[in-house]
Structure formats: C-alpha cells, structure tokens
Structure 1
Amino acid sequence: MPVVPRLLRIVLLGAAAVAVIAPATSANATPSPSDLQQQINQSSAALEKIVEQYNGIGEQLKATQTSIAALDAKMAPLQSQVDSAYANVSEIAAQAYKGGNPSSMALLLSDGTSGDLLSNLTTLNHIASAQQQQIQGYSQMKSQYDTEKTRLNTLLSQQQADQKNLADQKTKIEGDLANLMAMRKQAYGSATAAKPAPVAAPNIAGSAGVAVRYAYNAIGKPYVYAAAGPSSYDCSGLTMAAWAAAGKSLPHNAAMQWNQVAHISRSQLQAGDLVFYSNLGHVAIYVGNNQVIHAPQPGEYVKLSSVDMMSPYGYGRVR
C-alpha cells in the first residue's frame, strides 16, 4: 500500500488553528477506503468546529439585535416626554415674550448648542423647576442611551464581520469536503452512508420523554450544516429542536448549550441529558442504555450510537 501524501491546510479560528486534510491529487496513488474515510472524518471534524462557531455568532447576533430593539423601545416614550417638556418651555417662552423681561428672552434666543440652550434655560426665572428637572433627566438618559447604542452597534458590526469570516472559511472547507465525498463515492460506490431504519422510542415520562421521542423521530434525517429541522439537522440543531419540542429553549451552539445546562457526572446520566464531545465541538442527546442520538457528519444521517463513540467531554442536564 503506497503512502498517500497529504497537504495540510491551516484554517485560522480566532487564536486557534485547525488542520484540514486536503484530498489527494490525481498525481497521487489512489488512496484506500480507510485512508479516504480518515480524511473525511478529519475534514468533517474541522468543519463542524467552524459551523458551531458560526452558529454561536448567529446566536450572539440575535441577542445583540434584541438588545438594540429593546433600547429603541425604551427611548420612544422618553422622546415623547421630552417633546412635551419642550412644548411647555415654548409656552413659557411665549409668555415671556408677551410680558417677560428682555434679558431672559435674549438668553433663550441666543445661538448655541443644545447643551448651551439647556444651560441658558435653567437660568430663566420663567421656567418652573419641574420643567428644568424633566429636561435635565432626559439629557442624562439620552446620554446613557447614546453610549449604549454606540456600544451595541459596534458589537453588531464586529459580530457580522466574524460571521462573514467564518462563512468564508466554511465555504473553503466544504469545497475540500466535496472532493473527499467524490472520492468516497469512487471507493464505496456512494457518497453517503446507509440510511438507518426507524427505531421505536422508549416510553419515558415528562419533558425528557418528549425530547427523546423527538430525537428518535429524527433518526434517518440527513446531517446538514447549521440546520435545526425538521427535515435535516446539525449536532446542536438536533438537541435544540428536541428540547424545544419539550418547551425548553437552548441556543444553536454546543458550547453555549454546555454553559446553559447543569453539569452532571456520568453516573447521573438519564434519558434526555446531553453528552458533549470534541472539546464542545459536538453534542448528542442521551436516550438510555449507554446510547445517544446525534447528527454525525456530512454524508450521514441522524442515528443511534454508543455514548462512547468518542471520548465524552462532559454531561449536562437541561434545566
């Protein structure tokens, strides 16, 4: 068996680097099925890490956009209040024009910034203390709003840039993976594994039972990056959708799910718990009898596997 030369492509992920095995060129000897499968597994693992990061950035984007919308909603009534306050000031100014003293009107009508206007307005003896305090309170709240809005807009721009960067990396690796899948088809006669047959779900009570039944019903659905059902899934998309059916909200990202669940030991595992792998790059749902259901990798389908299909990183219970 000749040794197949391999070209390592380095994909930067933040401070980390993932080595992706590129497919053999036509100049190389035809690799064996086992060599091809090893290359597919390595490329799939690298791509899954990028996709999970991509999913995570998507979750952060949604949170940032929600915060911006909430901030804008808070500002709407505040703007209405300040408009009312300034209307009162205008009325007082009109009264001052009709019968007030000229020095006050000179201050009111002088050119200057809004800050100068506020400073001048506070010196006018025609303006009641209530209006002064209302406008000052608005100015303080508006300043806080502007600072927070600037921070959120900056964060949103950075997250959008990160999302594009990860999407570009994902596209490159998908190209490599497509070549490998073509070689797999040449070696095995098919680019995809055999589709698993449906499996009856065990009778499990409560919300965990709902999540487990959902996972069983997903067996045989294809793995698709960044998908969360109902026709296809990636790993965190499957666990998110399963627990959503049970009324529990999980983010579409394995590491974020780990941060949200209660961490438990292997001996405490119960059906419905989550099992994490590959340094939080993969997640599955435990269904009992030392088995998990998970969405593995491209060319495969959601399936039952041993909980020890690879070394678990940790175990978590959805709260």
Structure 2
Amino acid sequence: MSSARKLLHALVLIGLGIGLTVPAAAAQAEPSPSELTEQINKASTELEKVVESYNKLNEQLKQTKAAATALSAKMGPLEAQLAKADTEVGQMASVAYRTGQVGTASALLNGSGPLADRLGMLDQLARDRKRQLEGFTEAERRFTEQKATLDATQAKQTAQLKELAAGKKKIEGDLDKLYKMREEAYGSATTSSGGYTGSIPSISGKAGVAVRFAYNAIGTPYVWAGESSSGYDCSGLTLAAWRAAGKSLPHNAAMQWDVVAHIGRGSLQAGDLVFYNGLGHVAIYVGSGKVIHAPQAGESVELASVDMMTPYGYGRVR
C-alpha cells in the first residue's frame, strides 16, 4: 500500500473513532449542581401553582358543601308545605266527587233566599277553591325550584371531587420527580433548617399570637395542602398562624389576598401578609424586614428576608 493510501486509511479510522465516541460522551454529560438547582426551583414554582389551584378548588368545594347543606335544610319545610297543600287540594277534589260542585253551584243559584246572598256564597266558594289551588301551585313551585338548585349544587360538588382527585394524582407524580431531582442534587430529598432557637419578638394583640405561632412553626416540613403541626404549605401556614389568633382565612394565597385589607410597603407591621409570584405564594411578616414562610416541597418552614422574591403586595388581616 502506498504512503498516500496508508495516510488516507488512517484518517478514515480516526474519523470513525471520533464519530463513535464524541456523541456518546456528549450524551452522558450530567447537569451541574447549579443547573440542577435551577431545574428544582423551576419545578417547585410550577408545583406550587398546582398546589394552590388544588387548595382553591378545595375551598370552593367547602362552599359548595355548605350551600348543599343549607339547601337540604330548606327542603324539609318546603316538602311539608307541599304535602299540606296537596292534602288540601285532595280533600277539595274528594268533596267535589262526593257532592258534585256543579250541583252545589246550581243549588245556590236556584235555591230559595235572596239572589244576592246566594251569589255571595258562590263567590266565596270560588275564592276558597282558588286560594287552595294557588297555595298548592306556589308550594310546588318553591319546592321544584329549590330541588333543582340542590341537584345542580350536588352535581357541581361531584365534579369538584373528581377534579380534586385528578389534581392530587398530578401533584403526587410531580413530587416524585422533584424529590428525585433533589436527591440527585443534594444527596437527600428533604432538608430541614431545624427549630427556631432565638428570641421571639414581643408583639401585642392578635398579630403577636400569629407571629409567635409562625416562629414556633420554623423547621416544620413543607406538606402540600397542609395546615397542621405535621406540615404546612405557604397558605396553610398563614391560615394556621391567624387561626391561632382567632381569625379565619381561606387555604389559598389568592383567596387570602381577596379578604385582607391591602396596604403599602411603608405600612407593614408584624402579622401582615406578604404575597409573591402573582399571588402564587404568601408569607407572614414578623418585623425587621423578615418573613416566615413554607418555601417549597423538600424544605421546611423558615425565616427569610421580605425581599426573598419580589413582593406582589401586602395585606392586613381584618
């Protein structure tokens, strides 16, 4: 083989080697820790939106159940009214069958006595019948109307329950993926900051109760849809803190925004709520430029700067 051909043969072999090994090496490239952290934060933000949507639907389901209970309570008396009116109409029909209303009317018209008196009796008989029939018709209308509303409310409740079940399944699937990412990046699916050991600021009134509760919750794990000492999500923590102070909040950041008094940054006081991510996240302000919040799945309740993210707005519990 000539020198030129040997050189060409060698170049072909090298080229084949490059073609076989370079793409394989590129395919095995692992994301850096910073890239994994970025992916985790993005996945956590998306998951929080899904969790808050779940929480909102759960709040709406509570309202639907309350409406159904109220409607059911109305149905009993309405059904009794309808039954009473039905009985009265039945009795009227029975009398008409036995005596014959035409015969009664004829007797009144053809009988003895002043005509004016007999006509008056006939008019009274007609009015009594009309009242009985109108009473039955109105009772039937009210019952039918409320029954239709109750049926629609119960159908809505059934649809909401199905939607909640689907939402729960999606959240659990997303959590599995997120925990695997965290384990790959940090060596553990969950981390904890531990309980708070510093001094808790002394704040008077109900706001002080809510703030003390939040400080004592530091280190509690993030649990989606959680609102108890076993775990909290963001709106579950603010709900629980203010519940301890005797105030009721819905379990959803956007719905909490709807029920608080909106204030400016300069008016912030301990106990106020701070909203983030287009009402997708909420924290409780504890003074000195700090908030306490339930960050994301895999982490625990923590103390952070009020500017940990760009605030959307500020609210005071009424």
TM-score if structure 2 supplies the norm length? 0.79
1:8 corresponds to: none
Q: Does the CA contact (< 8 Å) of 1:291 and 1:307 recur in 2?
A: yes
Q: Does the CA contact (< 8 Å) of 1:47 and 1:173 recur in 2?
A: yes
CA drift of 1:52 comes to 0.5
Alignment of 1:75 with 2:75, yes or no, is yes
Letter of the 1:160 counterpart: L
CA drift of 1:102 comes to 7.5
| Alpha-carbon distance between aligned partners in 2 of 1:302 and 1:224, rounded to the nearest angstrom | 10
Q: Does the CA contact (< 8 Å) of 2:292 and 2:303 recur in 1?
A: yes
CA drift of 1:32 comes to 3.1
Q: Which has the higher helix share?
A: 2
Letter of the 1:289 counterpart: S
Unaligned runs of 5+ in 2: 1-26, 105-124
Q: Does the CA contact (< 8 Å) of 1:184 and 1:191 recur in 2?
A: no
Letter of the 1:47 counterpart: L
Q: Does the CA contact (< 8 Å) of 1:291 and 1:306 recur in 2?
A: yes
Q: Which moved more, 1:253-262 or 1:30-39?
A: 30-39
| Alpha-carbon distance between aligned partners in 1 of 2:224 and 2:259, rounded to the nearest angstrom | 22
Say if 1:37 and 1:88 are closer, same or farther in 2 by CA, change over 3 A.
same
CA drift of 1:103 comes to 9.2
Partner SS state of residue 263, structure 1: strand
User: 1:153-168 alignment to 2 at 5 Å?
Assistant: 153-168=154-169
Q: Which moved more, 1:72-81 or 1:267-276?
A: 72-81
Letter of the 1:34 counterpart: S
Partner SS state of residue 128, structure 1: helix
| Alpha-carbon distance between aligned partners in 1 of 2:237 and 2:274, rounded to the nearest angstrom | 13
Q: Does the CA contact (< 8 Å) of 2:82 and 2:140 recur in 1?
A: no
User: 1:130-279 alignment to 2 at 5 Å?
Assistant: 130-186=131-187, 191-279=190-278
| Alpha-carbon distance between aligned partners in 2 of 1:253 and 1:103, rounded to the nearest angstrom | 71
1:94 corresponds to: 94
Unaligned runs of 5+ in 1: 1-26, 105-123
Say if 1:28 and 1:135 are closer, same or farther in 2 by CA, change over 3 A.
farther
Say if 1:103 and 1:302 are closer, same or farther in 2 by CA, change over 3 A.
farther
Q: Is the radius of gyration larger for structure 1 or structure 2?
A: 2
| Alpha-carbon distance between aligned partners in 2 of 1:190 and 1:63, rounded to the nearest angstrom | 36
Q: Which moved more, 1:217-226 or 1:131-140?
A: 131-140
| Alpha-carbon distance between aligned partners in 1 of 2:196 and 2:146, rounded to the nearest angstrom | 56
CA drift of 1:36 comes to 2.3
| Alpha-carbon distance between aligned partners in 2 of 1:84 and 1:265, rounded to the nearest angstrom | 60
Say if 1:291 and 1:34 are closer, same or farther in 2 by CA, change over 3 A.
same
| Alpha-carbon distance between aligned partners in 1 of 2:192 and 2:80, rounded to the nearest angstrom | 62
| Alpha-carbon distance between aligned partners in 2 of 1:249 and 1:73, rounded to the nearest angstrom | 25
Partner SS state of residue 198, structure 1: coil
Deviations along 1:296-316, whole A, 9 cap, x unmatched? 112211111000001001101
User: 1:11-22 alignment to 2 at 5 Å?
Assistant: none
Letter of the 2:280 counterpart: G
Q: Which moved more, 1:70-79 or 1:27-36?
A: 27-36
CA drift of 1:84 comes to 1.5
CA drift of 1:161 comes to 3.7
Partner SS state of residue 292, structure 1: strand
CA drift of 1:152 comes to 2.0
1:114 corresponds to: none
CA drift of 1:275 comes to 0.2
Partner SS state of residue 197, structure 2: coil
CA drift of 1:144 comes to 2.3
Say if 1:290 and 1:61 are closer, same or farther in 2 by CA, change over 3 A.
same
TM-score if structure 1 supplies the norm length? 0.78
Letter of the 1:162 counterpart: E
CA drift of 1:232 comes to 1.0
Number of matched residues?
273
| Alpha-carbon distance between aligned partners in 2 of 1:221 and 1:40, rounded to the nearest angstrom | 20
